[in-house]
Structure 1
Amino acid sequence: MAGIVERLPFPLSGRTAVTSSSFALDGVQYDVALGGMPWQLKIDNDHTMTRGGAPVRKEQIDQQQIPGEQSLANWWLRSQMSFIGGAGVLYQDPSSDNQYAIRFAESVGVNPWVNGKLTLLRESTLRVADGTSNKHFIVGWNDGTDRYWSAVGNVLKSDTGSATTTITWGGANTIRSLTSDGTRYYAADNVNVYRGTGNGSGSSLCATGTTAVVTRWVKGRLMLGQDNLMYEVDNAGTKTLRFTHLNPSFTWTDICEGTNAIYASGYAGSESNIYKFVLDTTGAVPTLASGGVLAAQLPRGEVVYAMTAYLGAFVGIGTSRGFRVGEIDDNGDLRYGPLLIENSNGVKAVAAFDRFFFVAATNGIETQSGLYRVDLGQPIQDNGVSPSVRYAYATDLQAHVVGEVSSATNFGNSDRMVFAVVGQGSYLESASVLEASGYLKTGRVRYNTLEKKIYKFVSVKTPNSLFGSVGVSVIDPGGADTSIITVAQGTSLAIEDVVMAAPMTAVEWVQLKLSLTRSGTDTAKGGEVHGWQLKAMPGAVRQRIFTVPLLCMDREATRSGQYIGREGRSLARLEAFEQIFARGDAVTYQDLRTRSSYLVVIDDYRYEQKAQPGANSSVHGGILWVELRTIADVITT
């Protein structure tokens, strides 16, 4: 029977679009088609077609010096056992410096600063209430008892945390600035600076004559900024002009001290600068050797509101945009880093204790006010250039009210902080009572890949004797917050390999939310977390491997008994197939018997020709074995 001469339905070179490389039955009953080429199957006892699953994980060798979760088989793991890196991480993915292992996304009401432990912060209570719109100033001091001065409007008080004393400070107008030399207070209004000792009455020290006034005790002397003028005031009240800014509209905002200089900040319009006043230490008593010299200039439009120098090396800078950490170089100049904390309400107060800066968080803790805490002992980014250093930070004390945080200070010599909120009053950190509740959200756990995952188990390490409660919930990419488990005080239930009820489908990432509550029997104790771990599996559609034997003969018989082909056909088809294979692109594999289609990659092939055809043979060819790996199923036609 004469064969049918076929035209190859594909080009022999170039890249063929998947949509144009399918085959439609038309007269000849082929079994399958691959990349638009139709084929007959050769299935018998010697030639079997197989289907199986493709391996998901590749073999790998762990060459890291320290074994970790990357060394374990079967599960994809991510865990964390310390939170001292602070907030701000988006993805809990590995990095060269391993910061993901100690950082998290955000927190409220919890203390992450003890290595290996997450606990509740202490609560803050309202002490000196104020319902006016006046700026509230506070300064800590100690006369054998921890206290702080509170100045708001024209009222100056002293508070021990249990009792307040109203002080006759000497003036009658609104207090514009407040400072202390350790035992004496200096309160400035638009008339004078008044000085008094402890809770005693005050008297006029020197004149001010303006509402634009700031006074600070630095380097053993009183500095006084009035409008665009900077004075030094001696013990007798004599003012010595040290610097006049060339812009008469310039206003001083704060003054602090460094190792060998005094720093003063101010602004005029959109320009804000920090000036230094260098000390001459050649004599018995250090004196100011020069007028103001520019030490740092802020980006245009960013105004310095508050400064605190600490440990002789750092300067906390509160601005109209947020908070920066500056470092003092050998020349006494300031090199400040990027915005560490952004707050559109601005930062108008900075205090320091231990290794921390405490920073005003105006409406910055779930839209309410309190303090941030910055850990100077935990740099989280440093490429060797100081301004690039960023430090660990997190939200800290809370007032649970809204309003501008105008001042912050230490409570005497203790480790407790005080902060003032305009229109509300001053808030003192408790000595022992914890916040009623708090939470921490981890970064997004995605195992450093965009592929979807199936998240199966969560474990959270807690103390054997738990106070309060610890709750675990999962946040998915859609924003849903689903509770997984809560363990309460008095129960022995462990949070270990708890099945995750959500998300219900494979997703790219999830976050954990760890919620802590205070004990109902002891307000000084509460929930505690020592670490967490997630277990997941790859969530992509599992691939399959097809091993298919195809006839590749000059002449072949179809299922219906029809003969097709011609002499030389097998070699042409083999070469055409090899060009498809060489391109390496995905192609469509069609099972024309069941009308099922798959998008596949040809992983390998083997052509078998078992007999050498003779010179007069009319049938050439052999068996073409192809190994196909599915990428996706195509809608059945």
Structure 2
Amino acid sequence: MQIVNALPLPLSGRERAAAATYRLDGVQYAYSLGGMPWLTAMSDERPMTRAGAPVRKDQVDQQNIPGEQSLAGWWLRSQSSFVGGQGLLYQDPSSDNQYAIRYGESVGVNPWVNGRLTLLRSTEQRIMDATTNVHHLVGWYDDRDRYWSAVGSLLRGDTGSAVTTIPWGGAGPIRSLASDGTSYYAADAVGIYKGTGNGGGALVWNTGSAATVVRWVKGRLMAGIGPSMYELAGTGPALPTAKTTHLNSAWRWTDIAEGPNALYASGYAGSQSEIHRFPLDTSGPVPVVAPGSVVAQLPRGEIVHCMTTYLGSFVGIGTSRGFRVGEISDGGDLAYGPLLIENAAGVKAVAAYDRFFFVAATDAIDGRSGLYRVDLGQPIQDNGGSPSVRYAYATDLQAHVLGEVSAVTVFGNSDRMALAVVGQGAYLESAAELEPTGYLTTGRVRYNTLEPKIFKFVTVTTPSSLSGSVSVSALDPGGGDTSVLTVSQGSAVAIRDVILAAPASPVEWIRLRLTLGRSPTDTAKGGEVNGWQLKGMPGAVRQRILTIPLLCFDREKDRTGQTVGREGWALKRLEGFEQLFARGDAVSLQDLRTGTSSLVVIDDYRFEQRAQPGSNLSTIGGVLWVELRTIADVITT
């Protein structure tokens, strides 16, 4: 029969408290480890050592683009391009390198030139209207840049320097406005009126419906009137036969746009919204609009308010929930992506210029209205679906007032935009004057770990000859907003390795706010940022490595001469310690001589026995070397 001795400690689990302690009673032990008392074996030949534990480990940079994680010394995070737009929560490395070009949020700044962050141009209120009527805008050009403005029963033309009231022919509130390039088409509840430039208009089509939307697409005037869609060709004023009439009499069309080989019209009834495709029949000498069919259906409860196509490939869709970007296939099918921009007030206007969509931003820019800008040339994320990408975006022009943005258009042939805010009026982008101030807030810099960090230095690069001003502040998780430094026009001070005075204690992350100011001497110039960098270091409590020699004999003598032990005691204590080590849990280390303790992890051990033991195992004995790593501050017992 085999006799198995009971183990002094369980092999695994947490049946014994990790922080078990020992209280001196008689024998004057030197240390207690996990509640097990030990006498010290320290001597000139066997010293106890204390050393700092390494806080950094060797790293291998496996990113597609070599980055700051490859560098030794400081923990670094920097950015020198902002073209990825806003919406980034954490400024952490990613497989597609988004963190290097995206940021948290911005107001009043232009991030769309690689390596430059500058102020956006300001806007000027050109037409004032305090009514609740929806405001319509359409840009046009003859001898100079212009736009038409329709609000209530008034139609006006604006060159940016002069506003002209136009006798358009009707008397009721204008419900929709369109242009073929030189002529305008204004619809009210009676009919559709046509005029040229700033000249007077006349009725060309009877509609008898306030639910009218008119658009000039594919070289023809299309009108959605009630549930029906018409191609308005001929002399009128009686309406031709409808191209299609929705089966639901409550259906209302909201917008019409053109694709490479078809027209697209959006509409809704109740909580259901769809986009219909009307192909062009090219079998005859003149392309004819054929009856339509549903090509896209929105999620229930999401209504399409506006829509525009661009470059034959992209579709900007403004809905009651925000803004989506769609793509048109070679066959004319339409696929839309997820909500790129969410806005509780919805999006009711969108225009396109250069490589951008300009999107209504109702009460969305620090609580005020203006525009978003979406960069179709800067994909930022592969959705793995159709369409396959999301696009960079950021807030753009500001009206600095509250109210629904109901219209946006390109100002003639220029690169300037005009927008309208219900209850306020029409606003035109300045040709040169910049916003007085603007800011960008980075994503949260946390070096891809939740451990606390000490953020020490910040660098912000600016042009050597700075116009305006650049200010830097640090935002921390506790809500702190601490100014770091402001550099003004003409100053020789550089924001390079400036000490961060806050946060005062280690934190998980911080963000930077970069604020740009306009030049006090030239309103067309302002501050500029070319990049930023943060330097930090680990902020967790620094660990220590302790190497302690302990006696492990059958019989031992403490410093007062008292003997303790019995035959077989050394082996049982060694086995008990080895089980404590195998468990891998944190244990309490008590220095019983000084009355202090630490929470430690046993990293390694070795047992040294110099004398040859006899046949009786009870004669085992030697020195137990333990290597301990502290994981909590020393506390007084």
TM over 0.5, yes or no? yes
Aligned residue for 1:577, secondary structure, equals helix
Aligned residue for 2:529, secondary structure, equals coil
Pairing 1:382-531 to 2, within 5 Å after superposition? 382-531=382-531
Q: For residue 92 of structure 2, what is the aligned residue in structure 1?
A: 93
Q: For residue 295 of structure 2, what is the aligned residue in structure 1?
A: 295
Distance in 2 (alpha carbons) for counterparts of 1:301 and 1:276: 21
Pairing 1:9-48 to 2, within 5 Å after superposition? 10-11=9-10, 13-18=12-17, 21-48=20-47
Q: For residue 3 of structure 2, what is the aligned residue in structure 1?
A: none
Q: For residue 145 of structure 2, what is the aligned residue in structure 1?
A: 146
**Greater mean deviation of Cα atoms: 299-308 or 559-568:** 559-568
Q: In structure 1, give the amino acid aligned to 2:416.
A: R
Go from structure 1 to structure 2 and tell me whether the alpha carbon gap of 1:625 and 1:161 turns closer, same or farther (over 3 Å shift): same
Q: For residue 163 of structure 2, what is the aligned residue in structure 1?
A: 164
Q: For residue 104 of structure 2, what is the aligned residue in structure 1?
A: 105
Contact 2:19 2:587 in 1 (8 A): no
Q: What RMSD in Å do the two structures reach over aligned CA positions?
A: 1.6
Contact 1:128 1:427 in 2 (8 A): yes
Q: In structure 2, give the amino acid aligned to 1:555.
A: R
CA-to-aligned-CA distance 1:211-230 (integer Å, 9 cap, x gap) = 11111111111111111111
Q: For residue 346 of structure 1, what is the aligned residue in structure 2?
A: 346
Go from structure 1 to structure 2 and tell me whether the alpha carbon gap of 1:199 and 1:12 turns closer, same or farther (over 3 Å shift): closer
Distance in 1 (alpha carbons) for counterparts of 2:121 and 2:63: 41
Pairing 1:111-150 to 2, within 5 Å after superposition? 111-150=110-149
Pairing 1:197-236 to 2, within 5 Å after superposition? 197-236=196-235
Contact 1:551 1:624 in 2 (8 A): yes
Aligned residue for 2:528, secondary structure, equals coil
Contact 1:262 1:276 in 2 (8 A): yes
Number of residue pairs matched by the alignment: 630
Shift in Å, 1:73: 1.1
Q: For residue 4 of structure 1, what is the aligned residue in structure 2?
A: none
Contact 1:378 1:392 in 2 (8 A): yes
Q: For residue 610 of structure 2, what is the aligned residue in structure 1?
A: 610
Q: For residue 3 of structure 1, what is the aligned residue in structure 2?
A: none
Aligned residue for 2:243, secondary structure, equals strand
Contact 2:139 2:409 in 1 (8 A): yes
Distance in 1 (alpha carbons) for counterparts of 2:194 and 2:487: 56
Distance in 2 (alpha carbons) for counterparts of 1:10 and 1:636: 27
Shift in Å, 1:56: 1.0
Distance in 1 (alpha carbons) for counterparts of 2:196 and 2:618: 119
Distance in 2 (alpha carbons) for counterparts of 1:24 and 1:115: 67
Distance in 1 (alpha carbons) for counterparts of 2:12 and 2:381: 52
CA-to-aligned-CA distance 1:275-325 (integer Å, 9 cap, x gap) = 111101233321112x12001100000000000110101110000000000
Pairing 1:305-384 to 2, within 5 Å after superposition? 305-384=305-384
Go from structure 1 to structure 2 and tell me whether the alpha carbon gap of 1:13 and 1:228 turns closer, same or farther (over 3 Å shift): closer
Contact 1:192 1:206 in 2 (8 A): yes
Go from structure 1 to structure 2 and tell me whether the alpha carbon gap of 1:408 and 1:20 turns closer, same or farther (over 3 Å shift): closer
Go from structure 1 to structure 2 and tell me whether the alpha carbon gap of 1:61 and 1:250 turns closer, same or farther (over 3 Å shift): closer
Aligned residue for 1:571, secondary structure, equals helix
Contact 2:29 2:38 in 1 (8 A): yes
Distance in 2 (alpha carbons) for counterparts of 1:320 and 1:61: 47
CA-to-aligned-CA distance 1:321-341 (integer Å, 9 cap, x gap) = 000001112332211111100
Aligned residue for 2:636, secondary structure, equals coil
**Greater mean deviation of Cα atoms: 171-180 or 588-597:** 588-597
Shift in Å, 1:61: 4.4
CA-to-aligned-CA distance 1:244-269 (integer Å, 9 cap, x gap) = 11111111111111111111111111
Q: For residue 557 of structure 1, what is the aligned residue in structure 2?
A: 557
Distance in 1 (alpha carbons) for counterparts of 2:292 and 2:184: 26
Shift in Å, 1:181: 0.4
Shift in Å, 1:384: 4.5
Q: For residue 188 of structure 2, what is the aligned residue in structure 1?
A: 189
Contact 1:519 1:525 in 2 (8 A): yes
Distance in 1 (alpha carbons) for counterparts of 2:275 and 2:165: 35
Shift in Å, 1:240: 3.0
Distance in 2 (alpha carbons) for counterparts of 1:616 and 1:342: 80
Contact 1:472 1:486 in 2 (8 A): yes
Where does structure 1 lack aligned partners over 5 or more consecutive residues? 1-6
Contact 2:455 2:535 in 1 (8 A): yes
Contact 1:12 1:576 in 2 (8 A): no
Contact 1:10 1:21 in 2 (8 A): no
Go from structure 1 to structure 2 and tell me whether the alpha carbon gap of 1:17 and 1:188 turns closer, same or farther (over 3 Å shift): farther
Shift in Å, 1:27: 2.5
Aligned residue for 2:58, secondary structure, equals coil
Q: In structure 2, give the amino acid aligned to 1:250.
A: W
User: TM-score if structure 1 supplies the norm length?
Assistant: 0.97
Q: For residue 537 of structure 2, what is the aligned residue in structure 1?
A: 537
Distance in 1 (alpha carbons) for counterparts of 2:65 and 2:275: 47
Contact 2:588 2:600 in 1 (8 A): yes
User: TM-score if structure 2 supplies the norm length?
Assistant: 0.97
Aligned residue for 2:582, secondary structure, equals helix
Contact 1:9 1:36 in 2 (8 A): no
Go from structure 1 to structure 2 and tell me whether the alpha carbon gap of 1:322 and 1:52 turns closer, same or farther (over 3 Å shift): same
Shift in Å, 1:605: 0.7
Go from structure 1 to structure 2 and tell me whether the alpha carbon gap of 1:31 and 1:391 turns closer, same or farther (over 3 Å shift): same
Distance in 1 (alpha carbons) for counterparts of 2:65 and 2:247: 61
CA-to-aligned-CA distance 1:568-592 (integer Å, 9 cap, x gap) = 1111111111111112111111111
Distance in 2 (alpha carbons) for counterparts of 1:85 and 1:342: 18
Distance in 1 (alpha carbons) for counterparts of 2:307 and 2:615: 98
Q: In structure 2, give the amino acid aligned to 1:253.
A: T
CA-to-aligned-CA distance 1:329-364 (integer Å, 9 cap, x gap) = 233221111110000001000000000000000111
Distance in 2 (alpha carbons) for counterparts of 1:322 and 1:172: 33
Shift in Å, 1:386: 2.5
Go from structure 1 to structure 2 and tell me whether the alpha carbon gap of 1:35 and 1:207 turns closer, same or farther (over 3 Å shift): same
Q: For residue 581 of structure 1, what is the aligned residue in structure 2?
A: 581
Q: For residue 272 of structure 1, what is the aligned residue in structure 2?
A: 273
Q: For residue 241 of structure 2, what is the aligned residue in structure 1?
A: 240
CA-to-aligned-CA distance 1:449-491 (integer Å, 9 cap, x gap) = 0000000000000000000000000000011111000000011
Contact 2:18 2:585 in 1 (8 A): no
**Greater mean deviation of Cα atoms: 360-369 or 572-581:** 572-581
Q: In structure 2, give the amino acid aligned to 1:88.
A: G
Go from structure 1 to structure 2 and tell me whether the alpha carbon gap of 1:13 and 1:528 turns closer, same or farther (over 3 Å shift): closer
Distance in 2 (alpha carbons) for counterparts of 1:486 and 1:252: 52
Shift in Å, 1:58: 1.5
Pairing 1:589-600 to 2, within 5 Å after superposition? 589-600=589-600
Aligned residue for 2:492, secondary structure, equals coil
Q: In structure 2, give the amino acid aligned to 1:205.
A: V
Contact 2:346 2:362 in 1 (8 A): yes
Go from structure 1 to structure 2 and tell me whether the alpha carbon gap of 1:231 and 1:35 turns closer, same or farther (over 3 Å shift): same
Aligned residue for 1:498, secondary structure, equals strand
Contact 1:397 1:429 in 2 (8 A): yes
Shift in Å, 1:619: 5.5
Distance in 2 (alpha carbons) for counterparts of 1:132 and 1:264: 29
**Greater mean deviation of Cα atoms: 617-626 or 388-397:** 617-626
Aligned residue for 1:581, secondary structure, equals helix
Shift in Å, 1:60: 3.5
Distance in 1 (alpha carbons) for counterparts of 2:636 and 2:7: 25
CA-to-aligned-CA distance 1:76-98 (integer Å, 9 cap, x gap) = 00000000000000000000000
Aligned residue for 1:522, secondary structure, equals coil
Q: In structure 1, give the amino acid aligned to 2:585.
A: D
